[in-house]
Amino acid sequence: MPGSYSRPLLNLPKPPDMFARDWEWSELTAFAADEGPEATMAVVSGRRRQGKSFLLDSLARAAGGFYFCAYEATEAESLRRFGEELGQYTGSIAPMRFDRWEQAVDALLALGRDKPVPVVIDEFPYLARATPSLPSIVQVAYGPRRPERLESRTRILLCGSSLSFMGKLLSGTSPLRGRAGLELVVQPLDFRQAAAFWGIERDPRLALLVHSVVGGTPAYRREFVRDDVPAGLDDFDAWVCRTALSPRSPLYREARYLLADESDLRDRALYHSVLAALASGNATAGRIAGCLERPTSDITHPLTVLQDCGLVRKETDAFRRNRSVYRVGEPLIAFDHAISRPKLPLLDRGLADQVWASSRPRFLSGVVGPHFEQICREWVAHFAAPDTFGGMPIDVSYGTVPDQAERTAHEIDVVVRGAVGQDNGVLLSLGEAKWDQVMGMGHLERLRHAATLLTRRGVETSAVRLACYSGAGFTEELRAAGDRGEVVLVDLERLYRGE
């Protein structure tokens, strides 16, 4: 039945040269080796450089399937290439010839008449741009009562890097809605995996600094900097200058090319301006519009598209649900707009050392600081043990607590809601995160005051545990409070190795 698949009888071993991706490999192999009747379809997406093609090519090789990677070409040329490669796969004496994609899709269905066969069509958006009716052609081929589908166990996987295109492939009125049995988004490595991938997991401070520049994109280490890894904290500044700030390095221009991968973006200058405004600290739609000197209505659509692309994320205030902020979702873009783009003429002249010397304080405060807060939220969501906050964290965000007496508002960096027993949505924790400050009792008192203000507003705070997250450490007095159970303390060592 479309939309479901059974687990395979035989697991395909993950290639030894594949780093992490255990869950993704498990899902893909389960889909590809499914012994159930009828042809099925999967949609795999994710930004470029995350290893999608490596995953799918490895899957096709391990399962004896067919892998076809499209590129920008006319329909006729794509069909010719497709026929040639399919002919080679099947061992045909001569290349197969297809005049229409209907014939090509049926040829793929015919591959699975005897057993499950995975068929990967990588960079599917290129084919769909040359043949806009291709999604409808696949829909017709997968008709519920069509014999070619019912008599086939072909497992077609459509893959693409344009998140805006791939996201629409199964949504709304798209022809393929309801046809896919698996929808998988290949995400960047999380911050712990990224540290291990770069081989710097033993130095969490260095790992977080590197992650603030390149995030968790695997290709940035292998292809872009050719395994140039900072030797230690003392080498980090020089590493930034010879990679992200060097015109000779592919990493130097990568942030500007990320938008080019999204075919749905028309006015790229506007999108870059929106990202620049975000990187400058303008987090609300109104402030972004003000920075660009445009009405708010002009930036609503760009913000939505950037969210669909995974380049911007929207966060809702935990205590004021009608208030949201926007943040750059890709570290390399945040770094580029905050550090590189304002000084491009100097960087193009090879003056990386001078630019970095003047920009380093801005990097630590404007890039690493907000990134550290996000890493803390990710730690709570994915790595903190349930007993750390007295319940299972479900929703982790930021929050703003108004203080009418002081005519101000307290920003809470890490707000945790979760499940305690049968109760969901319980407020579990209020936390403050400081990358470059040794935190003390003053930070704890501010959190206590915020909890009191919430109680006065009628918010249930009986289960709240206060938390301090620091990249620079804690005073002895605050550590003593932690030992007494008055506050949860999370340092870099705990972020990268603890629960």
From the list 104, 163, 161, 167, the residue with the least C-alpha distance to 131 is 104
Q: Are strands 423-434 and 408-420 parallel, antiparallel or unpaired?
A: antiparallel
> CA-CA distance, 170 to 54, in Å (whole number)?
23
The segment with the largest mean pLDDT, out of 263-267, 420-424, 495-499, is: 495-499
So what's the pLDDT on residue 308? 84
Mean pLDDT of 159-180: 86
So what's the pLDDT on residue 3? 39
So what's the pLDDT on residue 371? 97
So what's the pLDDT on residue 10? 53
So what's the pLDDT on residue 257? 87
Q: pLDDT for 311-332, tens place per residue?
A: 899 999 999 988 999 999 999 9
Q: pLDDT for 199-218, tens place per residue?
A: 999 999 999 999 999 999 99
DSSP label at 384?
S
Give the total residue count for the chain. Answer: 499
Residues 7, 8, 13, 19, CA torsion sign: negative
Mean pLDDT of 384-402: 95
So what's the pLDDT on residue 280? 85
Tokens of 165: 């295109």
> CA-CA distance, 397 to 340, in Å (whole number)?
29
Which residue reads 């987090």 in tokens? 283
Whole-structure pTM value: 0.93
Residues 155, 161, 167, 173, CA torsion sign: negative
Q: pLDDT for 452-465, tens place per residue?
A: 999 999 999 999 99
So what's the pLDDT on residue 2? 38
Chain mean pLDDT for the chain: 93
So what's the pLDDT on residue 8? 43
pLDDT-based confidence at residue 485 (cuts at 50, 70, 90): very high
Tokens of 253: 């221009």
Does an H or E element contain 303, and which? helix 296-308
The segment with the largest mean pLDDT, out of 11-15, 141-145, 368-372, is: 368-372
Q: pLDDT for 239-276, tens place per residue?
A: 999 999 999 999 999 998 887 766 666 677 888 899 98
From the list 28, 363, 13, 369, the residue with the least C-alpha distance to 185 is 28
Mean pLDDT of 286-310: 90
3-state secondary structure 87-110: HHHHCCCCCCCCCCHHHHHHHHHH
201 near 207, Cβ under 8 Å?
yes
In this prediction, what percent of the chain has a pLDDT beyond 90?
Answer: 82
DSSP label at 341?
G
Residues 249, 252, 258, 259, CA torsion sign: negative
